[in-house]
Copies of this chain bind each other. A is one copy, B any other.
Amino acid sequence: VVAEPIGWLSDAEQRLWRRLLSVECRLRERLDRELQAGGGLTLGEYEVLVHLSEAPGEALRMSELASRLLLSRSGLTRRVDGLVREGLVARRPCEDDGRGLLAELTPAGFSALERAAPVHVAGVRRYLLDPVAGPDGPVGLTGLAGGLGRIERALEED
């Protein structure tokens, strides 16, 4: 290994960093387009529906939903606004806390999710899971998951 000047990245290091950005960007773009074409939903909208469908009562507090989606509160408010307009989500006051609101999956929202899910899942398999599991055994799968996990921990240690 050739030493690099302090404060700069080697070619290999720079490639890894850029590849992480570019892969995530292209993958998200691809899945977003396929989902819009096949299911009529944005990837962002789809993710709201998925999280609601996984929650008890198919409803979540706005705040909680925002943090699960890595979205600001105002960002979620606006995303949910759109879904409410389309009738896929409904807002309902929170029983035990008058300040809170629940976002709730409507029957139409559940139908939209059922229609979109196969499209999304096929994309995730095709572009992420299958290639990473690979023909040479699932080496890539644990490698990828492990690497991402280490980064996650480093970010959380702050």
Footprint of B on A, CB under 8 Å?
A: 7-9, 13, 15-17, 19-28, 30, 70, 117-118, 121-122, 124-132, 134, 139-155
Contact = CB atoms under 8 A, between A and B. Distances in A.
A118 B118 CA distance: 45
Given A13-B129, A140-B146, 19 more contacts: A7-B118, A8-B117, A9-B124, A16-B129, A17-B128, A19-B149, A20-B24, A21-B24, A24-B24, A26-B152, A27-B155, A127-B151, A128-B154, A130-B154, A131-B154, A140-B147, A143-B147, A144-B147, A147-B147
What is the interface of chain A mostly: helix, strand, loop, or mixed? helix
Instruction: Report copies per complex.
Output: 2
Contact of A16 (B7, B117, B144): B144
Contacts of A8: 117, 121
7 contacts: A16-B141, A17-B128, A19-B145, A19-B152, A126-B154, A128-B151, A139-B143
Contacts of A22: 70, 152
A142 B143 contact: yes
A70 B26 contact: yes
A151 B23 contact: yes
A154 B142 CA distance: 18
Contacts of A16: 128-129, 132, 141, 144-145, 148
A136 to B, nearest CB: 10
B121 A27 contact: no
B27 A20 contact: yes
Contacts of A20: 24, 27, 128, 144, 148
